[in-house]
Structure 1
Amino acid sequence: MMEIEERVFTALADTTRRQLISTLAQSSPKTATQLAREFPISRQGILKHLDLLAQAGLVRVQTSGREKRFILDPTSLQAASTWIETIGKQWDERLQRLKTLLEDENI
């Protein structure tokens, strides 16, 4: 099973899915039909993208009768952001150690 970060990064690798996330962040919930009006792809195409986003935990589905509304769920984005921040801190620490080493050798 993929880690949450891997699912999120895989889902966000596609431009259309990133645009769907942005659209839902600005205005949600929305149905697939409403979203299809805003994108140059079919409703079925939108549903495939939304399914992948839901598998990554980026979108939740509210069902009311036969209608499904999609809502942004930022929880997985926060987990991916935390992972990026951790890697960034590790890199900063490595750079600081390198800087210290270089400064010590110039004394």
Structure 2
Amino acid sequence: MKVTFRRGLGVRGKARLGLVARLSARGPESIAGLAGSVDVSRQAVTKHLHVLSDAGPVRGFRRGRQHIWELEPGRLAKARDYLERIDAQWDVALERLEQFLPDE
């Protein structure tokens, strides 16, 4: 899985994280509902959701006239598995490092 880190996310990153957290806590929701949960315009929420959709953690679909957004469980599971592997690698690396450090 390719993971990309971008510098300078700033407020935009916080808004996107807030949208993901809201979808995680409440399930699928319309843009209007999501816009009420963050301190940005509906247009900005729409843009953030499209960026998140391109990255993979959310997906949108039509329900009548509304555009509904939800988390993409498969992509989140892949991200979780990747982070668990990285966590295990760090544990091994730290154990090796402890072998070289003097005892106090």
Equivalence for 2:54: 55
More helix by share: 1
- AA aligned to 2:65 is R
Q: Which residues of structure 2 form unaligned runs of 5+?
A: none
Post-superposition Cα deviations, 1:7-53, rounded to whole Å, max 9, x if no partner, equal: xx55xx50011110111111122111111122221110000000011
Tell which has more relative contact order, 1 or 2 (C-alpha 8 A, sep 6+). Answer: 1
Q: Please give the alpha-carbon distance, in whole angstroms, between the structure 1 residues aligned to 2:57 and 2:78.
A: 11
Equivalence for 1:19: 18
TM-score, structure 2 length as denominator? 0.76
Q: Please give the alpha-carbon distance, in whole angstroms, between the structure 2 residues aligned to 1:27 and 1:102.
A: 47
Q: Which residues of structure 1 form unaligned runs of 5+?
A: none
Q: Over alpha carbons, which structure has the higher Rg?
A: 1
Equivalence for 1:29: 28
- AA aligned to 1:98 is L
Q: Please give the alpha-carbon distance, in whole angstroms, between the structure 1 residues aligned to 2:25 and 2:93.
A: 38
**Paired residues of 2:18 and 2:38 also in contact (CA < 8 A):** no
Query: What is the Cα deviation at residue 101 of structure 1?
Result: 4.4
Equivalence for 1:95: 94
- The RMSD of aligned alpha carbons is 2.3
Runs of 4 or more above 6 Å deviation = none
TM-score, structure 1 length as denominator? 0.75
- AA aligned to 2:47 is K
| Identity value in percent | 35
* Pairs aligned (count): 98
